[in-house]
């Protein structure tokens, strides 16, 4: 007889079965929307989860019915023992996925394959080398494009994450969608979001309506097909008629998906965040090292989850800006 699993259900009836684990805060890019130009303060490795601690916490979440684990960073492939971690996580009864900037992807293709990872989210904010280098403040465009092509050849299910910013890269919307013509690649346009150190300004937004107006003008409304949404989808998805791949829009602020949110975030230093925008965290690592029950703390943080946007009524208000200032940088959260 199958053992009954106690699920993580918040006070709004949302079942949480998707865990995002940040392996480290460091990154080999300095993207303007994610990390301050000077980077972040590097801390002693003792402040972060060891491999054993990460696996213990992850296994505890699985006991609560977690079905999917996504590894993030910083840049997760910078983790020196990444291959060992993903090998051990692959023993858990979950779907394993990864979000990466793609720079080191060629080094770990076989490790990912052996761990049963079939889906990759790769960040790429411009198809123009000079522009990409300006956004990322690094010069890795060619290697990233080469590794995206490699992943496609290796038959990985690829999503390209594109953070759209006004007067920066919104003129490439059609160029990105064209990538889905002859390939099964999925393009995901992501709204610019406020986090500590990224100089967020709502005038930089590219709204859902603006994106669809550009797409409709180019392809014609009759050629834009609506894709069915999987459960707990964060994006509204579309396909251009006769294209192999698709594109979607993740508008976390203007068109939030909070009603169906099933996500929990575990930071590299062992803190749990019940919402991307929440500055409140629960310290699981400290509790684990003190021999305390982390299950109670996990349940506590889920039950304290607010209905929408960590309780923030408006990101344009003083409250919204204050929360962003007190939240982590995106690279320290893991997205």
| Residue ranges of the chain whose pLDDT lies below 70 | 1-4, 194-200, 310-335
The CATH architecture one would assign to domain 8-330 is: Alpha-Beta Barrel (3.20)
How far is 279 from 288, CA to CA, in rounded Å? 21
- 10 Å CB burial of residue 208 (0-12, 13-18, 19+) is middle
Q: What's the pLDDT score for residue 321?
A: 45
Calpha distance 176→146 (Å, rounded): 16
DSSP string, 114-143: HTT--EEEEE---SSHHHHHHHHTS--HHH
How far apart (Å, rounded) are the C-alpha atoms in residues 335 and 307?
19
Q: What residues form DSSP beta bridges with 15? A: 9
Provide the pLDDT for residue 320. 45
pLDDT score of 196: 53
Count the alpha carbons within 13 Å of 53 in the hemisphere toward its beta carbon: 23
Ramachandran angles phi, psi of 97, nearest 5°: -135, 175
pLDDT at 1: 41
Classify residue 224 by burial, with Cβ atoms within 10 Å: 0-12, 13-18, 19+. middle
* Dihedral pair phi/psi, residue 86, rounded to 5°: -70, -30
- Residue indicated by tokens 């490439």: 172
Model confidence pLDDT, tens digit, residues 270-320: 999 999 878 789 999 999 999 999 999 999 999 999 998 766 655 555 544
Each domain of the chain, given as residue ranges in start order, spans 8-330
Strands 186-191 and 157-164: parallel
């Amino acid at each position: 007889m199958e053992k009954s699993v106690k699920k993580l259900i918040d006070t709004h009836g949302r079942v949480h079965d998707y865990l995002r684990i940040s392996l480290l805060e460091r990154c080999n890019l300095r993207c303007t929307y994610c990390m301050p130009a000077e980077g972040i303060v590097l801390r002693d490795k003792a402040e972060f989860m060891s491999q054993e601690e990460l696996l213990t916490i992850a296994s505890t979440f699985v006991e609560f019915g977690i079905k999917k684990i996504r590894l993030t960073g910083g840049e997760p492939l910078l983790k020196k023992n990444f291959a060992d971690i993903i090998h051990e996580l692959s023993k858990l009864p979950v779907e394993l996925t990864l979000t990466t900037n793609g720079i080191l992807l060629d080094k770990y293709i076989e490790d990912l394959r052996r761990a049963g990872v079939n889906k990759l989210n790769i960040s790429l904010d411009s198809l123009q080398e000079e522009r990409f280098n300006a956004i990322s403040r690094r010069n890795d465009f060619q290697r990233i494009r080469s590794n995206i092509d490699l992943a496609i050849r290796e038959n990985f299910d690829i999503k390209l994450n594109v953070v759209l910013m006004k007067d920066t890269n919104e003129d490439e919307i059609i160029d990105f969608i064209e990538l889905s013509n002859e390939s099964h690649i999925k393009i995901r346009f992501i709204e610019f979001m406020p986090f500590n150190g990224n100089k967020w300004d709502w005038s930089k937004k590219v709204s859902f309506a603006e994106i669809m107006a550009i797409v409709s003008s180019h392809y014609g409304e009759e050629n834009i097909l609506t894709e069915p949404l999987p459960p707990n989808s964060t994006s509204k998805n579309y396909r251009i008629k006769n294209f192999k791949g698709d594109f979607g829009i993740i508008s976390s602020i203007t068109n939030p998906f909070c009603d169906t949110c099933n996500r929990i975030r575990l930071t590299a230093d062992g803190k749990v965040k019940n919402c991307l925008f929440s500055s409140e965290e629960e310290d699981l690592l400290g509790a684990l090292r003190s021999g305390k029950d982390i299950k109670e703390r996990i349940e506590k943080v889920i039950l304290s989850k607010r209905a929408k946007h960590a309780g923030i009524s408006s990101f344009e208000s003083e409250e919204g800006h204050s929360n962003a200032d007190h939240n982590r940088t995106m690279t320290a959260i893991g997205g």
